[in-house]
Structure 1
C-alpha cells in the first residue's frame, strides 16, 4: 500500500450528495441481436488509445454522444484474438484443419468487425470507435486486422498524474492486469511503478505514431479538458465527421456503462485534474521525474 493515495472522505461525501441531488448518470444497455448478413454494413474502424487513467472514459462519452459514432464500453476481446493469432501452437493446429495464416487472419477480421458493426447498427449509428486501454499492447495486431482505413486517436496525460490516479485505484484493490503487475513487482513504491508503466506504454504509442503518422491524431487530456471547444472539433475532423456542439453535454446523452465507467458517474462537464502528484515527497518526485523525463519532454510536458 502507499500512503496519501486514498480518496479523501470529504470528496466521497461530496460525490454521494451529488448523486442524490442530480440523480444517477444516464445509463442504458444495448441489446445486440444477430444481424442478417445481407443487412450488415462494414463500418469505418477507429481506436481511442491511451494509458489507463488518461481521460479515455471522458473522451469516450464525448465521442459516443455524436449522432454517427458508437463507442462501446471496453471490449477486451481483441487481446484474446491477438494471443490466438500469435500462438504457433494454435496456428499449427489450425493448419491441420486447412486454415493457413491468411485464412486465420481473415476469419479473425470478419469476427471482430462483425462484433463492432452489429453494435453500431444496434445503436443506430454509422461508425464505431473502440476505447480499451490495454490495446496499447496490441497496436500492430489491430493494424494488421483492420488495415489502412483504421484510424487511431492517441490520447496522453501527464505521467505523474496518471501514476497518482493508478495508485489510488491500486490502494483500493481496484486495479488489475499488466499495470498491477508493475506495482506487485515494485512494492517499494506503487507510484514509481506506475510512472514506469506509463512511460513504457507511451513509448509504444509514440512508436506506432511515428510509423503511421497519417492515421494517428494526437491529443492531450489537459488540453481538451481545459478547452474542449478549442481541441475537440479537430478530433471529429480527423474522423471526417461534422462537429456537433451538443457532444460537450455528454452527460445528457445515454451511454452504455462498462466496468470502468463508475469513475465518471458524477461528471458534469470538463474539469481537468492536473498536478495531483504535487503532494508527493521530494525524493519520490525526483525519482519519478528521472523515470519519465524523456517521455514527458517528448510529449511537451513539464518535468517536475
Structure 2
C-alpha cells in the first residue's frame, strides 16, 4: 500500500484547517457590536417621545439624536458571490444590517463625546424583536400615553385625517409597545407623569440608566438638539418652545374609541 500522493496531501491539509478552526477562540463580543447596550425608547407616534428625547439629550452623558429610522436602512447582496463571500465570513443580511445600524449608533456616540446613546424612533416598536436579537444587552424605556390622546394629537396636527384610520394606526403602535413590555425588561414611563412631575420622572430614568441626575435636563432650550422638522420628530410649537408643557386632560372614558378601550385599561387609564 502506497501512502502519500496529491490526494492524501489535500485531505491532510483539510484536516489541519479544521483542527485550527476548532482551536480558534470564539469571536470576541467586541467584534460584534461597537455599542453593546444602546437604549431604545419604544413608543407610539404622538406619545411625547421628542420631549423625552430632548430631556435625555440635555444630560452631559447621554446622546439622544433625532429619529434615525435605522430599521429602514437595508443591505443588498447584489451578486450570488457576494452572498457566498459573506456566508464564509459568518454574515447574513440580518447581521450585516445590524453592523450598519451599530456603526451609525457608534459614530453618533463618538461625535457627541458622550457615554450612552438613545434612539427614540417610534417605528422601532414594530421591530423590537429584531432590536433584541441584534442587541441582547440593549436597554428599553417604554413610553406610554393615553391612546385616545395620541389619536387627538394626530388629528389636531392634520385635520384632514380620517378618525377610523388614525385609531388603527395608533392601535398598531400601542399593541407593539405592549408586546415588547411583556417580553423585555425595561422602565415604563408615562407621558402624563413626565409633564406633571418632570424632576421625579427624569430622576427615575437616570437611576435606570446609571447616570447622576442633573437639573439641566429640565431646561432643554439651552442645548442644541438639532432641527425640529417633520419625519424625524415632533415639530410643534410646544416642543420648539423649550418648555415642558402640561399634558392635556385625560379623555373621558366615553370618548375613548372602542378599538382602544382594552389597551387603554391595560395601561391603567380610565377607558
Q: Check whether TM > 0.5.
A: yes
Aligned length: 235
Contact 2:147-2:174 within 8 A present in 1 as well:
no
Rounded to whole Å, the distance in 2 between the matches of 1:112 and 1:133 is 16
Superimposed CA distance per residue, residues 147-177 of structure 1 (whole angstroms, 9 cap, x where no aligned partner): 2x101111011111110111123336xxxxx
Q: Which residue of 1 aligns with 2:115?
A: 126
Q: Which residue of 2 aligns with 1:10?
A: none
Q: Which of 242, 245, 265 lines up with 1:271 in the alignment?
A: 245
The structure number with the bigger radius of gyration is: 2
Aligned pairs (5 A) from 1:251-290: 251-259=221-229, 260-263=233-236, 264-275=238-249, 286=254, 288-290=256-258
Aligned pairs (5 A) from 1:205-216: 205-212=177-184, 214=185, 216=186
Q: CA deviation at 1:204?
A: 1.4
Superimposed CA distance per residue, residues 22-66 of structure 1 (whole angstroms, 9 cap, x where no aligned partner): xxxxxxxxxxxxxxxxxx963630111211111000000000001
Q: Which residue of 1 aligns with 2:63?
A: 70
Contact 2:36-2:138 within 8 A present in 1 as well:
no
Gaps of 5+ in 2: 1-32
Q: CA RMSD in A?
A: 3.0
Q: Which residue of 1 aligns with 2:5?
A: none
Contact 1:49-1:152 within 8 A present in 2 as well:
yes
> Residue 126 and residue 43 in structure 1: after superposition, are their counterparts in 2 closer, same or farther (change >3 A)?
farther
- Do structure 1's residue 296 and structure 2's residue 264 form an aligned pair? yes
Superimposed CA distance per residue, residues 124-144 of structure 1 (whole angstroms, 9 cap, x where no aligned partner): 111200011111111111111
Aligned pairs (5 A) from 1:76-91: 76-81=69-74
Q: Which residue of 1 aligns with 2:129?
A: 140
> Residue 258 and residue 268 in structure 1: after superposition, are their counterparts in 2 closer, same or farther (change >3 A)?
closer
- Describe the SS at the equivalent of 2:91: helix
Q: Which residue of 1 aligns with 2:167?
A: 195
> Residue 240 and residue 94 in structure 1: after superposition, are their counterparts in 2 closer, same or farther (change >3 A)?
farther
Superimposed CA distance per residue, residues 169-194 of structure 1 (whole angstroms, 9 cap, x where no aligned partner): 3336xxxxxxxxxx6xxxxxx23332
When normalised by structure 1's length, the TM-score is: 0.69
- Describe the SS at the equivalent of 1:118: helix
> Residue 91 and residue 200 in structure 1: after superposition, are their counterparts in 2 closer, same or farther (change >3 A)?
farther
Rounded to whole Å, the distance in 2 between the matches of 1:116 and 1:131 is 12
- Do structure 1's residue 248 and structure 2's residue 218 form an aligned pair? yes
Superimposed CA distance per residue, residues 239-258 of structure 1 (whole angstroms, 9 cap, x where no aligned partner): 11111121011111121225
Rounded to whole Å, the distance in 2 between the matches of 1:261 and 1:287 is 25
Rounded to whole Å, the distance in 2 between the matches of 1:164 and 1:94 is 51
Greater shift after overlay, 256-265 or 136-145? 256-265
